[in-house]
Amino acid sequence: MINEHTNKIERARLLATFIHLGEIRRNGEDYIVHPERMVGLVQNSYQEEFNKRRKIDPTFCATEEWISDNGDVTCATWLHDVLETCKPRQRASVFAFIRDFFPFKVEGLVLCLTHDEKLQTYNEYIERVSRYPDAFKIKCADMFDNLTDNPTEKQTLKYKNACLYLISKGVEIPQVLKEILEL
């Protein structure tokens, strides 16, 4: 049961589990393993960033702000697909729940990561996401997980074209995506 006393990361995990209940990935796994793997990838990227900062400045320590941002990003990672995959008639209720039970940053990241094909092309969407470092980390983890989990040719081509588009706009793409996509 989710209520105001539930830890926000646990609340995000429970909401994602509920929304994705019954959804199956192409490889036959429950859909929820996708955001679960992504959480690990995103948390690892923050650990790498922390380690880089420590090498530059040995006195650097994770501030409360840095730690709380990490919690918000973890919540948004769990929730990154909920607005796209929930039934259209549930979307307003799911969004209201996110707005009411999560910090503003989580709400903003989830909205940023939600692609509405009726409103923008995939390249316009990915360029918008790339302007927000936390959203871009989540999206890169999403692409990585999808590309390493039985992707279709169409999905691989979509990601390759999007990454090439971003590169043409001067956006730095993680090396691991460049390698997978052979860029």
Kindly state whether residue 116 falls inside one of the protein's structural domains: yes
**CATH number of 17's domain:** 1.10.3210.10
Domain that holds residue 69: 8-181
| Cα–Cα distance measured from residue 132 to residue 61, given in angstroms and rounded to the nearest whole number | 23
The answer to the question of residue 1 being in a domain is no
**Total count of domains within the chain:** 1
Whether residue 2 is contained in a domain is answered as: no
Residue 86 lies in a domain: yes
Is residue 3 situated within a structural domain?
A: no
Task: Choose among 96, 70, 122: nearest CA to 15.
Answer: 96
The answer as to whether 23 is a domain residue is yes
Give the pTM.
Answer: 0.85
In a domain, 40, yes or no: yes
Q: What is residue 61's predicted lDDT score, i.e. its pLDDT?
A: 56
Which of 172, 70, 83 lies closest to 130 in space, CA to CA? 172
Instruction: List per-block mean pLDDT (blocks of 10 residues) for the chain, which spans 183 residues.
Output: 68 93 90 91 70 60 50 93 89 93 94 93 95 93 91 95 95 91 93
With respect to residue 39, please indicate whether it lies within any of the assigned structural domains: yes
pLDDT of residue 149: 87
